Amino acid sequence: MKIAIVCYPTFGGSGVVATELGLELSKRGHEIHFITYNQPVRLELISHNVHYHEVNVPEYPLFHYQPYELALSSKLVDMVKLHGIEILHVHYAIPHAYAAYMAKKMLQEEDIYLPIVTTLHGTDITLVGSHPFYKPAVTFSINKSDAVTAVSQSLKDDTLRLFDIKNDIHVVPNFIDLEKHNLHGFKDCQRGMMAQDDEKIITHISNLRPVKRVQDVISVFYNIQKEMPAKLMFIGEGPEKEKVELRCQELGILDKVVFFGKSNEIDKILCFSDLFLLPSLTESFGLAALEAMASGVPVISSNTGGIPEVNIHGESGFLSPVGDIEDMTKNALYILKDEKRLKTFKNNARKQSLNFDLHAIVPKYEAIYEDTLAKCLVL
């Protein structure tokens, strides 16, 4: 199939999933066209069946806001005609599903039919999409998609609760390339560069937005390091970063926290991590937690949204109510204080991640494309 993928090209989970999906589909023989405003960060290799088309939005003094969805829908029309694209898969409803619908309508004028698959990722539904400013357009574009998927049952339930949806929503969980997180892949994790032998390594990865509750990461880590030698690896950039740095300074733990910024090498960082913290206010899935688990790192998380579908309480880690620092600290210390127990949790984490193997999940998307194409041909 010739498949176009629209996503955000940044470090966010939706862009990562879309890119990994496209790359795997290309390995399975499909021709993939990424259409977005920058080359997706995880798209390192452009090959004969992986293409990237940049959407440009020329500046004009009259525009207070640049009309990105207009430029995107025009680009989609051009690329579909030029490359004979058969199906369009958009990740993150805003504004991609809306732009996709406009492109589809323009193409229909020329008797070209373009089926649209929309994948809902989380904040496009829970935080941003349900805002009254966007809600009518988001509802409309979800209902006009030919197929809709959500990355967890929890996100599907939220979508049906928050919007008036007439379409079926298929749950297709996020997935992981287990080979990239192969425990035996890095024989030498270079752990010694980061911490002393007796120090435990705690890790957090996110876009450091308020929804990630990064202050809770600091509070839990502060409690841990009072009880045992430990270091915190902080990966990501975002609006909360300065506040986090200041708080670490106030607490006198700056020398125990390593700020990595944005990183494309999280598998290497996870390789030497002992515990992952994800205390988010809400999380449709928690891809970062799955990446940690695939590297054999147990997860201390909140019990919100889709996280319980990924992190299994008492097995791959522990779940606590949002903001319950005490419970998170207690659970973290329970895992970290006993080497044998830590090892068991590490093994369990890796084992649980196997349920999200990309080789099992990507065919689910292929089946949806095939069904959608078949359904649209009949119409």
> Residues interacting with ligand GMT, by CB under 6 A?
12-15, 17, 92, 121-123, 151, 174, 207, 209, 211, 282-287
Q: Which is nearer to ligand GMT, 123 or 316 (CB)?
A: 123
Q: Is the torsion defined by CA of 191, 198, 237, 93 positive or negative? A: positive
Compute CA distances 308 → 212, 245, 301, whole Å. 16, 30, 9
Q: Which is nearer to ligand GMT, 8 or 221 (CB)?
A: 8
Query: What tokens were used for 71?
Result: 């430029």
Nearest approach in angstroms of CB 275 to ligand GMT is: 19
Residues ≥6 apart with Cβ < 8 Å to 369: 1, 3, 87, 89, 117
Q: Which is nearer to ligand GMT, 41 or 373 (CB)?
A: 41
Closest residue to bound ligand GMT by CB: 122
Nearest approach in angstroms of CB 109 to ligand GMT is: 32
Q: How far apart are CA 214 and CA 36, in angstroms?
A: 29
- Give the other-Cβ count within 10 Å of 326's Cβ: 12
- DSSP annotation of 178 reads T
Nearest approach in angstroms of CB 304 to ligand GMT is: 9
Q: Which is nearer to ligand GMT, 30 or 121 (CB)?
A: 121
Q: Are 289 and 297 in contact (CB under 8 A)?
A: no
Nearest approach in angstroms of CB 240 to ligand GMT is: 12
Nearest approach in angstroms of CB 209 to ligand GMT is: 6
Q: Which is nearer to ligand GMT, 180 or 209 (CB)?
A: 209
Nearest approach in angstroms of CB 8 to ligand GMT is: 7
Which pairing describes strands 230-235 and 200-205: parallel, antiparallel, or unpaired? parallel
Q: Which is nearer to ligand GMT, 92 or 365 (CB)?
A: 92
Q: How far apart are CA 72 and CA 91, in angstroms?
A: 13
Nearest approach in angstroms of CB 368 to ligand GMT is: 16
Indicate the burial class of 277 (C-beta count within 10 angstroms; 0-12, 13-18, 19 or more): buried
Q: Which is nearer to ligand GMT, 280 or 331 (CB)?
A: 280
- DSSP annotation of 210 reads G
Could you tell me which of 121, 163, 71 has the C-alpha nearest to residue 286?
A: 121
Nearest approach in angstroms of CB 71 to ligand GMT is: 21
Q: Which is nearer to ligand GMT, 206 or 273 (CB)?
A: 206
Compute CA distances 179 → 1, 303, 353, whole Å. 25, 28, 12
Q: How far apart are CA 131 and CA 262, in angstroms?
A: 29
* Sole residue written with tokens 């940690």: 292
Farthest-apart Cα atoms in the chain, separation: 68
